[in-house]
Chain A
Amino acid sequence: MSMKFPGMAGALSVLALLWSTHLSAAGLESRPAQVAPAFLAKDLAGQSHTLADYRGKVVLLNFWASWCPPCRREMPSMERLRLKMAGRPLVILALDSVEPVEDVQAFLTTMKLGFPILLDPDGENTRRWKVYALPTTFLLDKAGRIRHVLKGGAEWDEGEALEAIEGLLQEVAAGGS
Chain B
Amino acid sequence: MKKKRVKQIGVLCAAWLAAWVHAAVPDYQVDSAQGPRLLLWVSSERGRTEPEAVAAKKLARQGVTVWSLDVPGAFFLPQLPSSMDQASPGEVAEWLVAALDTGKQLTVYAVGRAAVPVLRAAALLDAGQRGRMCVLLMYPNLYQSAEALADADYLDTGRLDGLAIRVLQPRRSAATPWLPAQLAHLSALGARVTPVMLENVREGYWARETPTAFEIEQAGQMDKLLMQELESCR
Contact of B27 among A3, A20, A129 (CB under 8 A): A3
Residue of B whose beta carbon sits closest to that of A16: B78
Chain B residue numbers with a CB within 8 Å of A14 are 15-16, 18-19, 22, 79
Cβ-based interface call for A17 (8 A): yes
27 contacts between A and B (CB under 8 A): A3-B74, A4-B76, A6-B26, A6-B70, A7-B23, A9-B77, A10-B18, A10-B22, A10-B23, A12-B76, A12-B77, A12-B78, A13-B78, A13-B80, A15-B15, A17-B78, A18-B11, A37-B149, A68-B174, A69-B209, A123-B177, A126-B177, A127-B178, A130-B147, A130-B151, A130-B152, A132-B174
- In the complex, chain B residues 1-58 whose Cβ is within 8 Å of any chain A Cβ: 11, 15-16, 18-23, 26-28, 47
Cβ-based interface call for A57 (8 A): no
Contact of B152 among A15, A17, A132 (CB under 8 A): A132
Cβ-based interface call for B86 (8 A): no
A107 to B126, CA, bound (A): 50
Cβ-based interface call for A131 (8 A): yes
- In the complex, chain A residues 1-45 whose Cβ is within 8 Å of any chain B Cβ: 1-18, 20, 34, 37
Cβ-defined contact, A129 with B149, below 8 A = yes
Cβ-based interface call for A156 (8 A): no
Cβ-defined contact, A132 with B47, below 8 A = no
Cβ-based interface call for A133 (8 A): yes
Q: Give the shortest distance, in Å, between A67 (CB) and chain B (any CB).
A: 4
Which are the 4 A-B pairs with shortest beta-carbon distances? A16-B78, A123-B177, A13-B79, A10-B22
Q: Give the shortest distance, in Å, between B142 (CB) and chain A (any CB).
A: 12
* Number of cross-chain contacts by CB at 8 Å: 119
Name the residue among A9, A12, A126 with the largest chain B CB count within 10 angstroms.
Answer: A9
Count residues of B near A (Cβ-Cβ below 8 Å). Answer: 42
Count residues of A near B (Cβ-Cβ below 8 Å). Answer: 42
Cβ-based interface call for B148 (8 A): yes
A-binding residues in B (CB < 8 A): 11, 15-16, 18-23, 26-28, 47, 70, 72-80, 91, 95, 143, 146-152, 172, 174-178, 202, 209-210
A68 to B146, CA, bound (A): 19
A20 to B20, CA, bound (A): 20
Q: Determine chain A's interface SS by DSSP, over half rule.
A: mixed
Chain B residue numbers with a CB within 8 Å of A4 are 76
Cβ-defined contact, B79 with A6, below 8 A = no
A133 to B21, CA, bound (A): 28
Contact of B72 among A2, A9, A67, A133 (CB under 8 A): A9
Chain B residue numbers with a CB within 8 Å of A98 are 176-177
Residue of B whose beta carbon sits closest to that of A132: B146
Given contacts A126-B177, A130-B151, contact A2 B16 (CB under 8 A): no
Given contacts A6-B26, A14-B15, A67-B202, contact A136 B148 (CB under 8 A): yes
Given contacts A1-B91, A6-B73, A98-B177, contact A16 B79 (CB under 8 A): yes
Contact of B143 among A8, A20, A132 (CB under 8 A): A132
Cβ-defined contact, A10 with B20, below 8 A = yes
A105 to B177, CA, bound (A): 21
Contact of B20 among A7, A131, A133, A151 (CB under 8 A): A7
* Chain A 128-140 interface mask (CB, 8 Å, partner B; 1/0): 0111111010100
A83 to B150, CA, bound (A): 33
A101 to B79, CA, bound (A): 35
Q: Give the shortest distance, in Å, between B55 (CB) and chain A (any CB).
A: 20
Q: Give the shortest distance, in Å, between A138 (CB) and chain B (any CB).
A: 7
Chain A residue numbers with a CB within 8 Å of B78 are 12-13, 15-17
Chain A residue numbers with a CB within 8 Å of B27 are 3, 6, 9
